[in-house]
Every structure is written in C-alpha cells, then in structure tokens.
Amino acid sequence: MTERAVDALSDTVTGDEPPTITVEATPEGVATAITHLPARIATTSPRRSHPDARPHPPLVEFGATPDLPGGVPPPETGVELQLPADREHLLVAAPLAYYLGATVHVGTETPRLLTPDRELSFDRLPAFQHEAASLFRDAFFLDTLVRGTSEEVGDSGIGLPADPERAFDLDRPPAALREAGLGDRLETYLDADRESLAGARPAWYLSTYADPTDAAARCLPFLLDDLSLIYLPDASDIDEQGLLRRSLDDFYRAPDDVASVDVVAPELYDGELHGWLAEGVPVSAFTPSPAAYEHRLAAEAAAPQEDLSVAVVLNDAAMADEHDDVARTCRERAGGHPASVEVHESLRTAQLARVLERDHDFLHFIGHCEVSGLQCPDGGLDCESLSRSGARTFFLNACGSYYQGRALVEAGSVAGAVTLRTVLNRQAATVGTTFARLLTCGFGIERAVQLARRQILMSTDYAVVGDGTYAVADGEPTVVEVEPTGEGFAVTYGVPPEGAVGAGYRAPFEDGRRPRGTPAEATLDRTALADLLADRWCPVVYDGALRWPNEVLEKLP
C-alpha cells in the first residue's frame, strides 16, 4: 500500500467507533493488545504526529477466548520491542510501542528495541521507564519537525529549530525522512544528538502513574489516545503539618462531620499534568478510572450541543456571592456563546438527586458535605444512591467532597473538581468562580483546577476525580504571562496541548504556527500589550497573580 493510500485510509477511519480487542489476562495477552492498539493509525509517515492522523485506539477487554478486531491490521513498521514477561515493563513501554507501531514480544531478560538494521538495549526497571519515555518523546518531536512545510505545524519553525538536520545532527534532510519508512526513520533518530533533543523538545503535558492491574490495562487505549507517558507509581505519606492545617473553624466551609481523605505525596516525573491509576489519593494528580474514560468516549460520540447546559446549586444562603458569580460567568461564556443556566437554591435530597441525574454539561454545587453526603435541608444525599449521574463535569465546592465526586464519576460523569477536606469559605468561593470561568474558556478540568487554586494558600485541598484532561467547552484555551521590564512587557503566550497533542496554534505576534505546548515569547510596549489583551477572554498571569484581561488593563502603568 502506498503512503498516499495509507494516508487516505487514515482519513476514512478517524470518526469510526473503536472496535474492541479481547485478550487473555496474561503478559502475552497484554503484549498482543499493545501490538494491535496502533492498528488504526493508517500512516507510518511523520504525519502520525498530528492528532488528525490518530483515531482512537481499539478498546481492551480480557477474556478466555481472544478476539482481535478486523479491518486495519497492525502496521508493518519494521520495529519490534522485546520485553520481560511482566505487566510493569509492558505498561511503561506502551506509549513507545504505540507511537512506533512496534510488534511487542515478551520473554527476554533485557528490554530491547529492534529496527531493520539496528538493535538497542535498555536497562530494566526502574530505569527503563525513563529510557522508553525519552525515546518516545524524541521520535515524536522529530516527526513534528520533519512533517513538512505543507503541514499545519512546522511550516516556519518559529521558536524551534528551523533546520532539524543541522540542529540535531540528522544524517538525512527532512524531505528524505518524510519518504522513509518508520523503522528506517527511527534509525536516523537514534543517531541524532539526543542531548540537544532533550533540551529543545517541549515539556510533555501528561504522565500517568499506573499499578500493573487489569484496570490499568483496560485504560491503555485512553492513555495512548492522550499520548500520556506511563510510569510505575511511588508515593510517601503526608502528615497534617505537611498540608499546613489551620485552626480557623469560623472560616471553614464545613460542619464538624467532614469525610476527609488521607492523601499521599506521589513521586512525579515529566509532565505538566499527572494522572494516578494507583492506590491512594494523591496530591497534585487527578484520579481517573476505567469508568471515567468510558464516559468520556460516550460523551465525545454524542451529538455536539451549541450551548453549554449548566446547573448551579446553592444549598447554603451564606455562599450566595459565589452562586451569583458562577451563574453570571457561565451565561457570559467566552466567544459570545452563552450557556443555558439553571439556578437552584435550598434543594432537598430528592430534588438534588433529580438535578444530578438530569443531563448537564457542567454542574456546580455550593454548600456543605458530610459523611452522609451533600447536605440538604432534610439531610445528606449520598451520590452512591443515584441511579445515574447526568453531569458530564462538575465542581462539588463543599468540604470533603472527594468520595461524593468519585461516586458521580462511577455513575456517569467524566470528571469533576472536589475537595479533600475542610476548605476556607472565602478561598472556596475564589476557586469556584475562577474554575467556572476557566472551564467556559475551553480548559480541561485538571488544568482549570491548577490555575484556579494557585490563587489561594491551601491549594492542596482541591483535586480532580475522573479524566482530568477532559474539556467540556470548545475553544483554544490560552494562558498569557506578563512581566513588566525596563523595555516594556515580557509576554509569554501559550496554548496547552491536551486534546490535540501534535497540533499547532498561531501566537498573535508571530507569523507562523508552532506546536501546542510550546509558548511564544515577545517584548511588547504598552500599546501592543493593550491591543493583545483587549479582545481576549483568557487568564493572564500578571505580577505573579492570576487575573483577567480587563483587570490587567486597569493596572498597566
């Protein structure tokens, strides 16, 4: 099959529902699954680095009778991975195997990568997880650079090496590499100046830490669809002093009977965002599950809605300011596309249950949470009692709402923001309002929480359950950082890559496009900065604080 025919086939399968692979729950079965997961990437050219060329991988189930999907077979890339026969090596090697279209075999003592003319040996775990991640990132980065001047990304090389052949000691020019087979191209990449590559490639946006369980193997198609790096989990306990607990009971958004969570401090590696598919509740990482990913797939397959459907529930009159701000923010939704907003107050348990079970893109609960559940005038509503959760995303802005949020994800939600214990009332209002605004700008759940909680001291009290990469609103989420200098203002403009790893964007003060996740930098005078911010709805980090364009314009000297 010619490369042009393969590319055309890729276009035809992009929107199809992914088939399901059934394999035995053995290392050999998992290896077979990983071999077939890149089957729907129908091009072996550098174009596979663009998200439009990567349909969702097949799903994975375990069963006594293997069943491999028909249609597009695993690609013949000339790349093979030989691994020890354990799930630990298989999990951390999966992103590398997926992107390279490698055939995976188990049974060797030492992990090895084979191409038509080369053999590369790796160390065993734990070093192997870092070596595999580094090679994957190098191959992906070089593919984005050599895709060609006609491609969306790399047409000018602004902010990146315009000549990768010279910058990284490649022995062939990009035009020749675009015509090379994947295995042949990888051999050239292996001879590149990988130290220079490591210093030039963009920061990776997502890492997931996974126990070698059936659940983690079932999540592989979703992790690889996100191009997440995968590591084995390691964490240590955190004591109360480590979280700066305070005795400020008068200011807490909570009664005494709060379902607090014992959290752990995970060992985090490369990645702007981190997922935790392991035991324990982590600080600074979201906690996905197979159910969350399955609900995301169903949500993405549903017919798109022009307006967001939002429900705001106020179950404590003392918190009315946050209630009003969130409702107003959603109605004013970015880009001139207002949301349909329902406003509820003082709901009883049966009423709240009905609201939670109805379909909404986003539900924002403001009130209290106890061990018995979300607090209502007639008692607590335990979300485990719901027949379903219709809220795709949510924010349970109530003390100790973690377990209630997990119950919503298992019942149908994709992801949501929760609290791990008691939170200060004023800080909760700040986080809640900012989070809602970021969500309507198109940010994913985890990044929205990261940005929102940087405004407060007790930021570790907020977390995300479910798939933290999910964004409920369309758009190109942007973060602008502004720092006054003697020559004007140092401006950094960036668009995060989640949902579009390998795609590009155009910074307003540059001519060409650059990969999402690589920020653009410029020094602007006051007039140029004002023009940049005047027509934008995005968060701006100014003077170390998260603000909004109108607020920054008022403060400019």
Query: Domains of the chain (ranges plus CATH)?
Result: 3-201 (no CATH), 237-466 (3.40.50), 479-555 (no CATH)
pLDDT of residue 323: 67
pLDDT of residue 431: 87
The rounded distance, in Å, linking the Cα atoms of 185 and 176 is: 9
End-to-end CA distance of the chain: 62
- Work out the burial of residue 431: count CB atoms within 10 Å of its CB; fewer than 13 is exposed, 13-18 middle, 19 or more buried: buried
CB proximity list for 186: less than 8 A, separation 6 or greater: 79, 100, 115, 139
pLDDT of residue 325: 76
Q: Is 341 helix (H, G, I), strand (E, B) or coil?
A: strand
Candidates 432, 416, 425; CA nearest to 368 is: 425
What sign for the dihedral angle of Cα 420, 422, 423, 425?
positive
104, 90 contact by CB (below 8 A):
yes
Q: CA 163, 183, 14: angle at the middle one, nearest 5?
A: 85
pLDDT of residue 337: 62
Phi, psi of 436 (to 5 degrees): -60, -40
Phi, psi of 103 (to 5 degrees): -80, 130
34, 97 contact by CB (below 8 A):
yes
Mark the ranges of the chain whose per-residue pLDDT is less than 70: 1-15, 70-72, 148-160, 162, 239-260, 303-304, 323, 333-338, 424-425, 456-459
pLDDT of residue 513: 83
Phi, psi of 301 (to 5 degrees): -80, -15
The rounded distance, in Å, linking the Cα atoms of 495 and 514 is: 10
pTM of the full structure: 0.91
Please list the residues that pair with 415 across neighbouring strands: 393, 466
Q: What single DSSP character describes residue 473?
A: S
Q: What secondary structure, in 3-state letters, does 294-316 show? A: HHHHHHHHCCCCCCCEEEEEECC
371, 382 contact by CB (below 8 A):
no
